[in-house]
Each structure stands twice: as structure tokens, then as C-alpha cells.
Structure 1
Amino acid sequence: MKFDARAALRRCGSTVLALIMGVSLVSAEAAANDAPPAKELFGAKDLPMQAAPASFGFYSKGCLAGGVAIPTDGPTWQAMRLSRNRRWGHPAMIALIERFSHDAVEKIGWPGLLLGDISQPRGGPMLSGHASHQIGLDADIWLTPMPQRTLSYQERETISATSMLDKSKFLTVDPSIWTPSHARLIMMAASYPQVERVFVNPAIKKKLCDTWRGDRAALGKVRPIYGHDYHFHIRIKCPPGSKGCKDQAVVPAGDGCDKSLAWWFTDEPWAKPKQKPGAKPPKPKFAKLADLPKACALVLNGPAPASEQEATYGTAYRAPAAIPAAATSIEAVIEAAGEAPLANIPVPSPRPGLQ
């Protein structure tokens, strides 16, 4: 058999190339595993990326470019927990909050909004507290009315929001705390056409189902979820032209006062996950920068404005000189909340689909 030197060299070269590629892949994987969690990277940014406003990715997996901050104080709102630096959002979200706060005061007599978390300066995963709020299109509104004085910095850090739940009864709204004005506030938030969902505690959703006598068209947007008894969570749709932004699935038809709500009043949602005897609890996995949309690496490392004052109302956004009147759809929604319960109470069923 004649030895073919060239063929041997080709085989040797292929083997070496495969080894090099294998080592490169292992090295890349090791580097990815050693990379810091994305929440540490985004949580360390004090100012937004200076760019045209854009939301990239999904509410729980993305980032925000060109974000703006709502002022800590406005005529009808005050921002809470200022040390978190989470009062940033897409200009569309900030504009809605301002309009909502004015409408709530003028239309239903709510004293003003206390604002919880919106987003970090560049969005992304947060160091604590939220899975969503990553693309500047989510905002938490306290169910505690704004006091008629300016809160101090220390008060904003330490005051607790008020839970609407009766501590002595399972998933029941406390009638001594809950008022028809709370119902009107939540339903007003859901009435805006750009609002995709309003998340509340299941007990609050049930209370609305049982007592709301106004237009129920927006009630389907009010979705039950864990927690959310101290505040409610507004989520808006991806703004027009947001090519890199992914909307959530359309809310199912109806008012949501059906088996999907009844499921929350069974044992299943609250049952602890079963583990095999002796099994170690799984280690939490935190998203890395590589797990987010590719644009987020550019957002993370992009240029920042010179100061927060410049970023609060940057060139991409200016506070409106006058808040526009509420849409006629809101007028149809804001009606007195009665106390008459619904005739039909939903029957428990298997867990529904995504909220």
C-alpha cells in the first residue's frame, strides 16, 4: 500500500482544526458561564443610553435605549423609593403616567399617584424585585393615595404601601380599606387604548368582577397575578414603529371573570413544588448579557447624557405643555362602582394559559 503524504496531511489538518474549534467552543462556553449576570451590568448604570427611544425584546427579557425619567414630583404624582433609580421608561410610558395622574385627579377625585418602579435607566434585568420592567413599558402604581404634602426623601424610602387584603381571610379584599375609588382608579388605567394589561392581586380582580357596574369592556385587561395587593402594575403595548419590541399575546376575549380567575382560589397556585427526597434545590439561573437581544450589548455600552437633568427630559421627549383631555372611552368606563355581586361565580378549573 502506497503512503499518500498529502492525504495524511489533510487528515491531520482536519483533526487539528476540529481540536481548535472544540477548544474554542469550550473556551467560549466557559467565558459565557463566567460572565457576570446581566442584572449586575444593567443595575450599575446610572444614566440611560443617549439615543432615539427604543424598546428591545420582551417585557421580561430586553432593554431600553433613549429612556427618560419622570420627575420625582409633579402636580399629581410623587415618585417613591428614589434610591433604586427606577423611575426611567420609554417616553410613551412616561407620557401615559403623567396623563393618567392628571385624569385620576380631575375625573375621579383621586388625590394623586404614588409611583413605584418603572424601569432602570437602560432597562434590563433588575437586581431585585421584578422579572419584567425590562423595556421601559411597565410601571407600578401604589394603591395608597398621594398625601397632600411633599414627602421627604426618607419617607419615600421607608413608608409602606397599604395592602388591600383582609389578613384574616384567604384572598379577600378588606372592606375597611378598599373603596369604590380604588376600583375606578384601576379601571381608568385599563381603559387607555395603549394599555395592554393591568396586573392586580386575584382578590382585587374578583372584587372588581363582583361589584363593577361600569363599562366592563376594559375589565378583561385587568389580570390576576401573585402579589400586587399593595400596588397595581400597568403594562403598555410596544409603541408604534418599535421593530425590536415584542408585544405580549392578546388578552383573551371577555371580562376575565371566568374559570381563569376561579383557578386562583384553588390550592394549585399556592402549592409548593414537589421535590424528590434528598434532592438538592436547583441553583437559581440568572440571565447573562448574551441571553438578551443583541441590541442590548450596544445599549449597555452606549454613550450617556452629561447629567440626569439632561436625561430627564432629553431631546427625544418633552413634557406636554397641557395634558390632553381624557379619551371618550375613559368617560364610558368611569362610572360608580356598586356593591351588587355577580349572579354567577366561576367554577374552579385547571390552570389557564399565560396571563
Structure 2
Amino acid sequence: MSGAGGCNPRPGEYPLRSSDLHGGPVPEDDLSRINPFRRLTSAALFACVLVSGNPAAHAADGDAVAKQLFGQARLPAAIASEPHGFYSKGCIAGAVAIPTDGPTWQAMRLSRNRRWGHPDMIALVERLSREAAQYDGWPGLLVGDISQPRGGPMLSGHASHQMGLDADIWLNPMPSRKLSDREREDTSAVSMLKDDTLYVDPDRWTESHARLIVRAASYPEVERIFVHPGIKKKLCDTWKGDRSSFGKIRPYWGHHYHFHIRINCPKGAKDCRSQAPSPSGTGCDQSLAWWFTDEPWKPAKPAKPGEKPKKKREMRLSEMPAACARIIDAPAPSSEAAATFQPGMAVVRASAFSAPPASGVPIPTPRPVN
């Protein structure tokens, strides 16, 4: 989006910016017993076809472009579940897939193969879908991108979503029928904004939208919820219930077709770096008013007049947390079904007492480049 009115992205596609979303500043259920690989015997594990889940097996070349390696992986690393690094510079071992369909959710854009996440993330999405349907008048979730099978940078799209701790939830309610695979590719997400404005369209927005987002923010494991500034303003102006979790609902560019859930690093994940806590308060203050000035929507200025922006250098595997090279080379489970989340599984987590591998974290960037 650029300019105060802005240009909407292609419906269903999510524009990327860097800053609060990826770490920089901008003005209960017990989930500890989930094991996606409990059904894999040792023999089955060693019989895995590595290439099916790891097209770059033994290609942990430090100079390799990270997104090429992670973007080609079709199945997760069949090792203990653990995120490594940071939301915008990391990877995940032992990811699980959310089932394509549940009683109160349907996964979208299946061809992207981005319905993988940490077991805690998948359990939270399923819980949100159930509780929103039961209490908030929301018929079910359309689940967008979570992460790739082994996390890491993507061939296209997001800069974050790299550790399986982020999930996009469409702002369309789930239809009453099961969508076909083709419909999941072609159906457009619906913007909540009036055309060419920063403000919510009251003909599209409902109280159930508000209840869904506030419920998501209320879960203690949720670190942030990203929404468009217009949606945050609508919540600030109209929400009459408890606002104790409002500070976690953060205004950000884009995010008017979907909202973005980010959870904290799981307990014991010593090689995972959480984001700094959100500022105290509800966020219904001058920090929100800033988004309705011209400043956030101006194109970033080039370093020198007339100078073209430099092409961003692609991240190499050597620049990622050390564990990510091992995750790329790790064996895959025997099938996608073997790594699909099922309630009641016991999780295999990395030891909280083992020495974590060294990992780098990104330096937060200031303004996004339009």
C-alpha cells in the first residue's frame, strides 16, 4: 500500500514489509505433549526417502541460497520439535501440518505447502477455530500461510513465518461446505477496508470479526496479532469488552485481508528468540494516530537523489542459525500423513538443558521500502 489511499495487493496475496512485524520498532490447553512422529518406528525413519522431504540432501553448503533449500523441502525434519533463530531468520525441526480440513477450519492455498508449524502453533489455530465457532458466531477459519515444512525463508512472499510460530487467518468466514482444491487456490480473501481508504467498511465488518481477533489476542501464548491500522482503529472505537489484551493487537501495513498470529517461543526452546514485548497500554493512542498521517505511506527515500534501490542480497545458509544446516540434511518422515497433527499426540521436544547451537538474529530495519 502506498499513499494515504493506497493500492490494494492482489486479493489473497499478502504484501511484505519489515519492521514491527519482523522485529523492529514501529511508532488453557496443555500443549506440551504432542509428538508428530510417534508412529514412526526406527526402521521406518531410516527407510525415509530423503529426497522427497529434502531435495538438497547433503547440500548444506554455506554459500547456498537459503530460500532455495527451504523452499524445495516437501516434508519436515523428522527430529524433535524445536524452532531455531528468529521469526524472520530461522527454521524449525519437527514441524507438523494442520490437517487440510477440520470441523471448524479449512486450509487454503494448498499448492504452497505452507500449512506446517510448531505443534503449539497448530494446536492454537485449532483451538481458536473451535472457540470462535462456539462463542463468537464465527463459523470457522480459513487458514492461510503458516510455514514451510522446515521453515526458513520462502521463495516468494513472507519475510517472517520462518520458525513455524506465525499463522495467517483470513478475514473471510469459512463457508458451510467443503471447498475444492481449485477453490482453495482461486478464492480471493476479502479486504475489510473501504476502497482506496484506510478505514473499515461497515458493510463488510461484523462484531464477529472483532470477537475473533480479540479472542486470538487473549491467549497467553500469543505474542502479537498484526492487523491493518484501520482494523485496529475500528476495534479501539467500538470494542466494549475487556481490553487487557489490546496492546498485543498491533497496527501494520497490509493485513486487511487477513490477520497474523505470532506466538512466543515455546518453553524450553533455548535457540529461539522471541520479540520484545509490545508497549504497555491498549495502543489506542498517538501511536495509532500516526498511521493516519502521510508519514507511514510515503515511499522510502533513496540513499542519494536519483539512486536506484540496491537489489537485496539473498540470505545464505551460512548466515542462518547453525542448526538450520542440520535441519536441511535431516531425514524426512515416511509421508505427509505421518507428520500431520493429531490431538493427543505426545510431543518430542529438544532438551531444554542441552547447549543450543549458535544462532544469528536479524538486525531490525527501520522503514520498509515500498
**Pairing 1:43–2:71 present:** yes
Question: Is 2:294 aligned against 1:267?
Answer: yes
CA distance in 2, matches of 1:98, 1:300: 28
| Residue of structure 2 in register with 1:345 after alignment | none
User: Aligned partners of 2:176, 2:64: CA distance in 1, in Å?
Assistant: 44
CA–CA separation in structure 1 for the residues paired with 2:242 and 2:156 = 37
Cα displacement string for residues 134-187 of structure 1 (whole angstroms, at most 9, x for unaligned residues):
00000000000000000000000010011000014x211001101111000000
Amino acid at match of 2:247: G
- TM-score, normalisation: structure 2: 0.75
Name the counterpart of 1:202: 229
* Aligned position for 1:56: 84
Return the TM-score normalized by structure 1.
0.78
Q: Which amino acid aligns with 1:133?
A: H
Count of aligned pairs between the two proteins: 286
Match for residue 276 of structure 2 among 221, 227, 249: 249
**Does the alignment pair 1:189 with 2:213?**
no
Counterpart in 1 of 2:153?
125
Cα deviation for residue 283 of structure 1 reads 1.2
Question: What is the rounded CA distance, in whole Å, between the counterparts of 1:281 and 1:118 in structure 2?
Answer: 30
Matched, 1:161 2:189: yes
* 1:262 positional shift: 1.2
SS at match of 2:149: coil
**Structure 1 residue aligned with 2:126, among 98, 101, 105?**
98
Q: Which residue of 2 aligns with 1:223?
A: 250
Confirm or deny that 1:84 pairs with 2:134: no
Structure 2 partner of 1:11 = none
2:200 aligns with 173
Partners of 2:165 and 2:305 in 1: CA distance: 42
Letter in 1 for 2:209: H
Matched, 1:284 2:312: yes
Q: CA deviation at 1:119?
A: 0.3
Question: Which of residues 96, 100, 113 in structure 2 aligns to 1:72?
Answer: 100
Q: Residue 259 of structure 2 corresponds to which residue in structure 1? A: 232
Superposed displacement of residue 57, structure 1: 0.5
Give 5+ residue unaligned stretches, structure 2: 1-60, 346-365
SS in 2 for 1:139: strand
What is the rounded CA distance, in whole Å, between the counterparts of 1:247 and 1:277 in structure 2? 37
Which protein shows a greater Rg? 1
How many Å separate the matches in 2 of 1:211 and 1:278? 45
Q: Distance in 2 between matches of 1:74 and 1:320?
A: 15
The DSSP-based 3-state class of the residue aligned with 2:91 is strand
Aligned partner of 1:319 in structure 2 is 343
**Shift of residue 274, structure 1, vs aligned partner:** 2.0
- Which SS does the other structure have where 1:95 is aligned? helix
- CA displacement 1:50-90 (0-9 Å, x = unmatched): 01100000101100000000100001000000000000000
Cα distance between partner residues in 2 of 1:207 and 1:37 = 41
Deviations 1:101-122 (A, max 9, x none): 0001011121100000000000
The answer to whether 1:111 aligns with 2:142 is no
Q: Distance in 1 between matches of 2:160 and 2:309?
A: 24
**Structure 2 counterpart of 1:307:** 335
The higher relative CO (CA closer than 8 Å, separation ≥ 6) is in 2
1:278 Cα shift? Answer: 3.6
Which stretches of structure 1, 4 residues or longer, exceed 3 Å deviation after superposition? none
SS at match of 1:190: helix
| Coordinate RMSD, CA, aligned | 1.5
1:226 Cα shift?
0.6
Deviations 1:242-293 (A, max 9, x none): 1111010011110011121111111111111223344232112221111110
Give identity over the alignment, percent.
65
CA distance in 2, matches of 1:190, 1:114: 18
Cα distance in 2 for partners of 1:176, 1:320 equals: 41
Distance 1:295 1:36 in 2: 15
Look up the SS of the partner of 2:77 in the other structure.
Answer: coil
Aligned equivalents of 1:281 and 1:231: distance in 2? 29
Aligned with 1:199: secondary structure?
strand
2:86 & 2:314 partners in 1: Cα distance? Answer: 16
2:320 counterpart letter in structure 1: L
